[in-house]
Amino acid sequence: MAKSEVTVGRLEIERLKLMLAKARREQFGQSSERGKLLVEQLELAIEDLEETQAEQETKAEFAAPEAAKQKHAQNPRPARRPLPDNLPVERIVEPMPCACGKCGSERLHKLGEVVSKTLECEPRRWKVIEHVREKFSCRDCEAITEAPAPSHPIPRGFAGPNLLAMVLVNKFLLHQPLNRQSKTYAREGIEIDVSTLADRVGACVVALDPIIEAIRIHVMSAERIHADDTTVPVLAKLKTVTGRIWTYVRDDRPFGGTDPPAALFYDSRNRAGEHPQNHLAGYVGLMQADAFDGYNQLYKAQRKPAPILEAACWSHGRRKFFDLAKSGEAPIASEAVRRIDILFEIERTINGKTPEQRLAVRREKSASIVADLEIWMRQQRTLLSSGNDTAKAINYLLNRWAAFTRFLDDGRICLSNNAAERALRGVAVGRRNWTFAGSDAGGHRAAAIYTLIETCLCRTRHRQVYAARRTMPNGSGMARRCHAGTVDRVHGCPIPFGIVWSFRAPLGRRAGGRSAGSGFACRARTA
């Protein structure tokens, strides 16, 4: 009976995996909302069935070990992923037998070894580092000489750079408020008050300010940026008010740019248009964003130093039709989604190519589809009342048609503003944990650290690596370092307190004299 249940479970898992692969391989809407819910439900179902199957197989193995071994020999499992080769190896040699297990003889001769590997994880290791500065007395003049004091990330701070980086990553990337971190450290035998952690976070923001400024200059020097915002509740008297976190993302990779991507964050008390106008006061170039009215002043011809060129987001326009098409009773909306999905399919084939190559393909394939879409939407608009939801979705595109079709004249423009939405995803996830910002100052601190961390994550997601030199999440990009007492060669920005910022080189290159791998490193280290 148990064997039959395991077999049925295995077949069900394979069926669900086939369904999941089919959903992911859809010709249109590959990463769109249409298949998102289905994919998420299939993944949860597979996870639950695999857990149940493992539970049943383990029970059967405990009940009949020999039968389980024979079964595994007859039906071996697929080869598992090899263990990482960059981890330290601890070799444990089991004691050899004293005599032959068959005849009892003690004359044993070694033939070889049978090695089985186990992946293990130890709790993080706390330590105290003593910096010893020896004093010397001059025999001639009796003057006392000693080595200079080592630099620290923050003045008079007892916390080392690795610990400070871990606190920031836990708070802003892993969304663990300081009170939870304090309890976690206490369980590990290290008592650090919440007020002490808060003091260190505030000091770190000041220490990291030159790096944040360097990122700001880098983002604002881009030819094209993505812009978006999300809500952040801010604590006020006896209530919370709805503040905003704004992001501006530089990502040149879609049109073959070599400059590293980066994200810049700002915080504000409300969503007034004056905030993006202040953020982008000196910016001139292309901006991809939604149809927020607060951006309109940026696009006006009389703007100084020059107007920003608007590029609308087709994902926003498509979403309005998609929401209507989900009901299955909106054929016009469904047809609009189908036509827009064709544009996204074309874009996937030219992603990462040069602007000239992208523009040539768009003029050859996309231009006619866009022209037909406009004619079709205007025809359908005449058949609908002004209050109809489908008519409103059509008007959203037609009223901004110049901004939506600008991608046909410029190969640098993306079809969507998804880069900015991805940058804000971490803020949206964090809201579920910390609920609200404690003050406007807290929102500004969060925006500063989000700028640094999200820039790290622009190319690869965070990987937790327990190594002596690891302090910040990894990513990849251009090799550049700013050492203590030196000046950033790109932006002329002095970096204090021994903080090191490096965009590591792509996989296979060298950065800073050691293998770069694939990662972005931001380290604060002592001299």
Does the pLDDT of residue 184 top 80, yes or no? yes
**For the segment 10-27, what is each residue's pLDDT rounded down to a tens digit?**
666 666 666 666 666 554
Strands (E), 444-505: 499-503
Does the pLDDT of residue 460 top 70, yes or no? no
Whole-number mean pLDDT of the chain? 77
| CB 182, CB 194: distance < 8 Å | yes
DSSP helix/strand/coil, 72: helix
Q: What is the spatial distance between Cα 216 and Cα 194, in angstroms, rounded to a whole number?
A: 30
**For the segment 215-261, what is each residue's pLDDT rounded down to a tens digit?**
999 999 999 999 999 988 777 666 777 888 999 999 998 998 888 99
Q: Which of 334-338, 374-378, 483-487 has the lowest mean pLDDT?
A: 483-487
> Which range in 6-10, 16-20, 29-33, 339-343 is most confidently predicted, on average pLDDT?
339-343
Q: What is the spatial distance between Cα 394 and Cα 266, in angstroms, rounded to a whole number?
A: 32
The model's confidence at residue 181, banded by pLDDT at 50, 70 and 90, is: very high
What letter would DSSP give residue 519? -
Rounded to an integer, the average pLDDT of 455-463 is 62
Residue 513: both structure tokens together: 């004299």
| CB 291, CB 400: distance < 8 Å | yes
Cα-Cα-Cα-Cα dihedral sign, residues 433, 437, 438, 442: positive
Residue 116: both structure tokens together: 């089985």
The model's confidence at residue 297, banded by pLDDT at 50, 70 and 90, is: very high
| CB 255, CB 419: distance < 8 Å | no
The model's confidence at residue 66, banded by pLDDT at 50, 70 and 90, is: confident
Q: What is the spatial distance between Cα 129 and Cα 59, in angstroms, rounded to a whole number?
A: 48
Rounded to an integer, the average pLDDT of 274-289 is 94
Amino acid at 44: L
Output the CA angle 457-459-460, nearest 5 degrees: 65
For residue 319, which of 22, 29, 23, 42 has the smallest C-alpha distance? Answer: 29
Q: What is the spatial distance between Cα 193 and Cα 158, in angstroms, rounded to a whole number?
A: 13
Does the pLDDT of residue 484 top 70, yes or no? no
Q: Scanning the structure block, which residue is given the tokens 């544009």?
A: 343
Amino acid at 387: G
Q: What is the spatial distance between Cα 219 and Cα 233, in angstroms, rounded to a whole number?
A: 26
List Cβ neighbours of 276 (8 Å cut-off, separation of 6 or more). 227, 246, 294, 295, 298
Does the pLDDT of residue 323 top 50, yes or no? yes
**For the segment 91-113, what is each residue's pLDDT rounded down to a tens digit?**
888 888 888 888 888 888 888 88
- In the prediction, which pLDDT does 513 show? 32
